[in-house]
Structure 1
Amino acid sequence: MQNVHLEKLSDKQCQPESQLKFITEAWLQIVECRRVLKWTYAYGYYLPAHEHAKRQLFEYLQGEAESGLERLHQCAEKELYSYLNVDGPSKDFNEFRMKLAGLTSVTRNYFENLVRALENGLSDVDARGGTSRTGGSRGLGAGSSKNSRNKGTAPPAARSRNIDDSGHWSCEYCTFANVRSATVCQMCQQRR
């Protein structure tokens, strides 16, 4: 793309190559997003089967990421080639520049939020299967999941005693965040 098509596009659209940096940025974003998307499949494979709400949120986020990336890829590839195969400068090339730069930015932001949400163990979903108050696209990934990192590495009795910064302990069976004083899970009635 950089070595062949940008030079050709520069000639066809009468634009210096330095003004076509937005195309290179779009392609670099596509490569990075494909790399992230590849690893989301591994993340989804290891999501516990009993965490239905997290699985649903994960599948939704992954699907949105795929469709957003496809829109960007479509614009960067197919729409770009229409400007490569013209005889002279196109009147609407600046509109294409704005569209591609906008799609690149939106896709970058979405994937950054997706990665943040996965790093936080999809903490926007509370243990009862709903979304937390900080949910939504701006809050995606906000919150802490210290206990989710310990799950599976400590013996069950130790996992249920893990107390997070807010003074709650997570049930080893349903992962509900119970108040410190509770001796029985308020969700599934399992003993601490």
Structure 2
Amino acid sequence: MFLLQLEKLSEVQSQPESQLKFIIEAWQQEGTEMDLCIYGYYLPENEQTKKQFFEYLQGEAEAGLGGLHQCAEKEFLNYLNSDGPSKDFNDFRTKLAGLTSVTRNYFENLVRALENGLSDVDSQAACSKTSSKNIAGSSKDKGGRGKGSSKIDIPIRNAADDWACDQCAYLNVRSATACNMCHHGR
């Protein structure tokens, strides 16, 4: 079915099929959606910080996948069903390739963290609170006393300093001169 859609897209957009590899790569990346929820379920109760870190990384990966799905499936149909070549097809190519790359990086980071046993988290470390968001988890025993808390630093930045790309609406850090998603200039 996908090959038939690529053939039709090639015809409608006057693009050789060899130039549509970016769509295949996007579809393949969508197919790598792993059901990693089970891993978080099996993290031991005393590993709350690792669980929070895992959930954070998983959320990032799923958010990237959502944007990729929107572009690879829904926006794709606009180009597939158009009456002829679209002027902005190359912009679509750039956006989809960028989303594919970003999503791949999110999943690679998640898999790498899992392979390392989420060792980037030091549940005993005291964390600096100056430039990061502190996520703490604690549990209480039957007597009501805290067993302790685990902390993890997740860097945050001032969103007011960020800028949205005119091309793809990706939110970039202030220092970026080109969009980190589609590489469109600021």
- The TM-score bracket by the shorter chain reads 0.5 to 0.7
Amino acid at match of 1:101: A
Residue 59 (structure 1) aligned with residue 55 (structure 2):
yes
| Alignment check: 8 A CA contact 1:53 1:130 kept | no
Larger RCO, structures 1/2 (Cα 8 Å, 6+ apart): 2
Residue 110 (structure 1) aligned with residue 106 (structure 2):
yes
Question: TM-score of the superposition, structure 1-length normalised?
Answer: 0.64
Please list the CA deviations of residues 38-75 of structure 1 after superposition, one character each: whole Å capped at 9, or x if unmatched. Answer: 1x112111101122211111111111111111110110
Q: Which has the larger radius of gyration?
A: 1
| Alignment check: 8 A CA contact 1:10 1:16 kept | yes
Please list the CA deviations of residues 23-48 of structure 1 after superposition, one character each: whole Å capped at 9, or x if unmatched. Answer: 0111011101x1x2x1x112111101
| Alignment check: 8 A CA contact 2:50 2:123 kept | no
- Partner Cα separation in structure 1 for residue 12 and residue 123 of structure 2: 57
Structure 1 pair 130/42, CA: closer, same or farther in 2 (3 Å)?
Answer: farther
SS of match in other structure, 2:2: coil
Amino acid at match of 1:22: F
Structure 1 pair 128/110, CA: closer, same or farther in 2 (3 Å)?
Answer: same
- The structural deviation recorded for 1:131 is 6.9
- Partner Cα separation in structure 2 for residue 44 and residue 24 of structure 1: 30
Question: TM-score of the superposition, structure 2-length normalised?
Answer: 0.66
What corresponds to 2:20 in structure 1? 20
- The structural deviation recorded for 1:128 is 1.5
- Partner Cα separation in structure 2 for residue 128 and residue 98 of structure 1: 44
The correspondence of residues 30-179 of structure 1 with structure 2, limited to 5 A, is: 30-32=30-32, 34=33, 36=34, 38=35, 40-128=36-124
What corresponds to 1:29 in structure 2? 29
User: Structure 1 or 2: larger strand share?
Assistant: 2
Q: Which runs of 4+ in 1 moved over 3 A?
A: 129-132
| Alignment check: 8 A CA contact 2:6 2:20 kept | yes
Consecutive unaligned residues in structure 2, runs of 5 or more:
133-147, 149-186
Structure 1 pair 53/86, CA: closer, same or farther in 2 (3 Å)?
Answer: same
User: Structure 1 or 2: larger helix share?
Assistant: 1
Please list the CA deviations of residues 84-103 of structure 1 after superposition, one character each: whole Å capped at 9, or x if unmatched. Answer: 11111100000000000011
